[in-house]
Amino acid sequence: MSVLATIYAPGKLLVSIVGRNQGDLVVETVKRAGARGGTVLLGRGTAENRILRLLCLGDTEKDLVLTLAPAGEMPAIIKALRDKGGPARKAPGIGFVIDVSGILRHILPGSGGPAPQPSITATGENMSAQASHQLICVIVNAGYADDVMNAARAAGATGGTIINARGTGREEDVKFFGITIVPEKEFLMVLAEKASAPDILEAIRRTPSLNEPGIGIAFCMDVESFFPLGRAAGQS
């Protein structure tokens, strides 16, 4: 009997942001193109009206779909999403790709999959130089994401997506750091052009509501590609 082997191979993460209840159309499309599935998260958009009209995103409730795939399979998946005749044509929105240093996968020995990797190593050295956008991620206590988004917008951001989440701080962590860790969190994602990302991140850092220790953290990463989806893609 064949035994599954676990490997660690480079890959890509496709993030698709579409209207509420349209995430299943994205998952259906990416699976047809070879992806093994997708994870749908619920969020809300914060884009200004002009951007909403440009992307045909009239609602503020969003489905955020995460799709992991080997690097070689991602072009076909993106092509399927942007196909005007595919299921995702009814799900206007945006998509972008982030380089992933590795994905844990199960394969059958001798199936032709990549050889197991002995350790986790970073990849995508060339991607940073090619990236035109950056994804700014901010995790804050519940109720602060709108303040952060307002600061980001004042620095040039056109919008963002907020996802409700929760922290996992333990009681002993609270006592050790001397701050109150609020379980309810908000996860804000802001996609920005690479040239403007530092100013936006600095504006976020200076947000008055974030001056209190323990309110939140922020980080950013390069985005490999950025494109419209659905009817918005047809208008590009």
Within a domain: 93? yes
41 and 127 in a common domain: yes
Residues 126, 29: one domain? yes
Q: How confident is the model at residue 10, as a pLDDT?
A: 77
The answer to whether residues 195 and 138 belong to one domain is yes
The CATH number given to whatever domain includes residue 163 is 3.30.70.120
Say what the pLDDT of residue 149 is.
93
| Residues 186 and 103 placed together within one structural domain of the fold | no
Q: What is the pLDDT of residue 106?
A: 52
**Same domain for 62 and 126:** yes
Same domain, 31 and 17: yes
**Count of domains forming the chain:** 2
Claim to verify: residue 216 and residue 228 sit in the same structural domain: no
CA distance 204 to 214: 15
pLDDT at 76: 95
Structure confidence at residue 44 (pLDDT): 83
Cα 72 to chain centroid, rounded: 20
Whether residue 3 is contained in a domain is answered as no
One domain, residues 144 and 208: yes
In a shared domain, residues 127 and 153:
no
Per the domain annotation, does 76 fall within a domain?
A: yes
Can you tell me which residue has the tokens 């698709």?
16
Tell me the pLDDT of the chain (236 aa) as tens digits. 455 555 667 789 999 999 888 999 999 999 999 998 888 998 888 766 555 544 444 447 889 999 988 889 999 999 999 887 777 788 888 999 998 876 665 555 555 554 444 333 333 344 445 678 889 999 888 889 999 999 999 999 988 999 988 766 555 555 545 555 556 888 999 999 989 999 999 999 888 877 777 778 888 888 988 888 876 454 43
Same domain, 99 and 185: no
Output the pLDDT for position 123. 37
Q: Which of 138, 141, 139, 143 is nearest to 200 (CA)?
A: 138
14: in domain: yes
Q: 91 and 147: one domain?
A: no
Residue 39 lies in a domain: yes
What pLDDT sits at residue 121? 35
* Pairwise CA distance, residues 15 & 38, whole Å: 10
The verdict on residue 219 lying in a domain is: yes
Q: Give the model's pLDDT for residue 126.
A: 41
The whole domain housing 228 covers 8-108+122-131+224-235
Q: Is residue 196 part of a domain?
A: yes
Do residues 176 and 205 both lie within one domain?
yes
